[in-house]
A = this chain, B = another copy of it.
Amino acid sequence: MTGRVKDVAAVAGVSISTASRVLRGISVEPELERRVKKAAQHLGYRPNGLAQALRGGRLGVIGLLIPDVRNPWSSDLARAVETVCRQSGLGVILCNSDNRPEQEDACLELLWNRRVDGLLLGSVRGEPPAQLADLVGRRWPVVALDDSCRGPGIDIVICDNHRGASLMAEHLAVHHRYRRIGLIKGPPKLASAEARETAFVTALPSLGARVVAEAAGDFTYEAGRAGMSEILAKRPDVQAVMATNDLMALGAIQACRDNGLKVPDDIAIVGFDDASISTLSGIGLTTVRQDLGDIAAACVTLLEDRIRDPGPARRQVCAVHLQIRSSCGCPTPHAQMKVSS
């Protein structure tokens, strides 16, 4: 298909193994090295990663399994992961599962067939896919982004959901003195969502506030909208609502507008994630920021560790902090929206 080591060797007039050594940066007589490099350059030689991987090396590609890359948080994650990976010379195969077990299995099959070096699981709710246990058993390196997907050979990276929700509770109850608070929940069986909910609900009472209305949700815009309407119907006197992710918060803001309520004058809405897309609501969304750059870096580091040698499962928690904008009722410093490109 293109220049091979053999060709380079032939042009340089050396043996294959000498050429290979030079190409791999192993010490060789200077004169030969020069000739080989020149030959490689001349032929536009590029190593065949497939052959290298087959020989025992690594392919230099990992899989990223998420529900849907169109979801703002997922695309932020995909972007962050790809950036980190590219810096390590790794490629990323993107797989969308729609949270459907059969699609998850199909993706795992695909990735395993290509002997991808490892898997980043940004997806799974509740039970891990059936295939997974088998693959992990075969020493396939896997890092998951939610506690739901725990297992012996699976590292976990998450942001500090508990702390994030607690901070937000404090901000709403102490700083703003809101008393009657609403909560739009995330998908059931998703540990991250549950952690946010529990921490939030638990933290409020000791701060003089409480959750007076809850709505179910599944992290979609529509769910946020519906959940908010439901809460307003149940408790028109609610003063602030936290959605367990930003996309639902945007939906909630829209629902408020639909009901003739102004955010944050009439009601405060806050989210969780600090997804880059949040600015599209036209309002500065107060939220809990998890730095996906950090998270992606942690994931890739753990994955590479595990690629090198198996070891026991680890769990890493990344820091979060409040990202205060205006939707909570705080005054807005002028034009603090972030560019979303």
Which residues of chain A have a CB within 8 Å of any CB of chain B? 1-2, 44, 46-51, 53-54, 59-61, 64, 68-72, 75-76, 78-79, 82-83, 86, 89, 91-96, 103, 106-107, 109-115, 134, 138-139, 219-222, 247, 250, 253-254, 257, 276-277, 279-282, 339-341
Contact = CB atoms under 8 A, between A and B. Distances in A.
A44 B135 CA distance: 10
Contact of A221 (B134, B221, B257, B340): B340
B114 A60 contact: yes
Contacts of A106: 86
A50 B48 contact: no
A75 B68 CA distance: 9
Contacts of A47: 113
A75 B247 CA distance: 15
A2 B140 CA distance: 11
A50 B138 contact: no
Contacts of A221: 279-280, 339-341
Contacts of A79: 68-70, 96
B93 A61 contact: yes
A100 to B, nearest CB: 12
A339 B226 CA distance: 11
A340 B89 CA distance: 33
